[in-house]
Amino acid sequence: MQATFPLGRPAGVRVGAHWSVLLIMALLAELLAQSLLPEAVPGQSALVYWATGIAGAVVFLASLLAHELSHALVARRRGVAVDRITLWLFGGSTEMSGELPSPGTAFAVAVAGPLASLLAGGAFLGLGLLLPAAVPAVVVVALTWLGWTNLVLAVFNLLPGAPLDGGRVLQAIIWKLTGDKRRAQAAAARSGSVLGLLLAGAGLVELLWFGSFAGLWLVGIGWFLGFSARAEFAAGPAREVLGRIRLGQVMTPHPVTAPGWFTVQAFVEQAAACRQRTFPVVSFDGRPVGVVSLAALARVPEQARTSTRVEDVCVKPPLCLVAGPDVPLTTVLSRTGARPGQDLVLVVENGVLAGVVSPGDIARTLELAVLGTEARRPTV
Ligand SMILES: [Zn+2]
């Protein structure tokens, strides 16, 4: 999601908010200050209504954050890497870069959020019941509103369709029952599509039949849900294809190599005739030594280029990745950096260099996967 502003790092998790959060906050503050609070406790000044309304909206945002943080912390505790939390128009999302390893973990991560919302809802309602004598009546109304809103949030999120939490719970259960993660994913996405359609339909009825503009909100949420579910459904097969691909299938075989024993000067003259910017470096007996880029060669001072060997300036393992042809592409995907000279994976078979996997090869593989097909090992 673009255009987010940072909100700090509670418990070490990066949190950002999309600008649309400001819109929802303004709408909630207005709802409290202009209608809910004056109707429940008449006769107060506008300042009191607005101050309570804005505070209520801010606390609501905090409880939304608590919901997402619960997902994030449970994920991290179970060893799944969490990238960040983004708050936006329809709530929040927790982005995880790690794969959920088991149905049990998937279930725990999914229910953590709604559980936090349920607890927050119960706590606010409890405070609303216990505090009336001690605090102004408008605060009690705001607390009660916060309580019910959090309970609604918990229940709504438990609706059984991805990408809602309920959809993730459903996915974890199907995964557990069938042992098939992809099938569970597809089922949860499909039920998210149906749910989105139902919500949008209900919103339309509310809008057209009853003339209620709250229906528009439901149409928006339904549309968003259906849209995300379809996107997830489309990504499913691509992910499945990717999971099967081995380095040997996607590598460029017999790449132009840099002889490690050459001086930088001697190799530069040879490199000028190639279209490559990065080269695998091999030793005299054909063993792969590392990776060198034109940029790295350019950093060697001119007077040293006749005395420095290519092998001395190349990036060596573990900084450069070396793997066998049967290693799945997905295991190196997350480890290839964008840094020049380190973005070439050396594919080694029987001790000699069989090929290289470049960012171009990876892009081609991803595009073929989206097209529903698989890169094949080139025939030479
Ligand atoms: Zn959630």
Query: Which residue has 């409880």 as its token pair?
Result: 63
CA of 126 to the centre of ligand 1 (A): 23
CATH tag for 247-370 (out of 3.40.630.30, 3.40.50.720, 3.10.580.10, 3.20.20.370): 3.10.580.10
Ligand 1 centroid to Cα of residue 186, in Å, is: 19
CA-CA distance, 356 to 175, in Å (whole number)?
Answer: 36
Of these residues, 39, 68, 206, 311, which one is catalytic?
68
- Residue pair 291/306 in contact (Cβ under 8 Å)? The answer is no
Distance in Å, CA 217 to ligand 1 centroid: 19
CA–CA distances in Å: residue 198 to residues 135, 219, 223, 225, 353: 42, 9, 10, 10, 56
What backbone phi and psi angles, to 5 degrees, belong to 61?
Answer: -60, -40
From the CA of 253, how far away is ligand 1's center (Å)? 46
Measured between alpha carbons, how far is 224 from 311 in angstroms, rounded to an integer? 54
Q: For residue 113, what pLDDT is reported? A: 93
- pLDDT one-digit tens code per residue, 107-120: 999 999 999 999 99
* CA gap 228, 91 in Å, rounded: 14
Torsion of CA 264, 268, 270, 274, to 10 degrees: 130
| CATH 3.10.580.10, the chain: domain bounds | 247-370
Q: Is 18 annotated as a binding residue?
A: no
Mean pLDDT by 10 residues, the chain (380 residues): 71 84 88 90 89 93 92 90 79 76 92 95 93 83 93 90 88 92 86 88 85 76 79 64 77 88 90 85 88 88 91 83 81 57 78 85 78 66
Looking at residue 339, its pLDDT comes to 54
**Chain-centre distance for alpha carbon 1:** 10
What is the rounded CA–CA span in Å between residue 325 and residue 357?
Answer: 10
- 361 CA to centre of ligand 1 in angstroms: 36
Of 225, 207, 226, the closest CA to residue 216 belongs to: 207
Instruction: With beta carbons less than 8 A apart as the criterion, state whether 189 and 202 touch.
Output: no
71 in a labelled binding site: yes
Q: What's the pLDDT score for residue 101?
A: 84
Known catalytic membership, residue 68: yes
Nearest-angstrom CA–CA distance, 85 and 1: 11
Number of CB atoms found within 10 A of residue 133's CB: 6
Calculate how far, in angstroms, residue 171's C-alpha sits from the geometric centre of ligand 1: 14
| Ligand 1 centroid to residue 103 C-alpha, Å | 17
CA distances from 284 to 13, 270, 290, 341, 347 (A): 49, 17, 13, 21, 18
Q: What share of the chain is helix, strand, coil (3-state, %, to 5)?
A: 60, 15, 30
The span from the CA of 313 to the CA of 74, in Å, is 44
**N- to C-terminal Cα separation, the chain:** 43
67 is in an annotated binding site: yes
The 8 Å CB, 24+ separation contacts for 345-348 are 345/247, 345/251, 345/321, 346/280, 346/288, 346/290, 346/291, 346/320, 346/321, 346/322, 347/247, 347/248, 347/251, 347/323, 348/288, 348/322, 348/323, 348/324
pLDDT at 338: 44
- For residue 193, how far is its CA from the centre of ligand 1 (angstroms)? 18
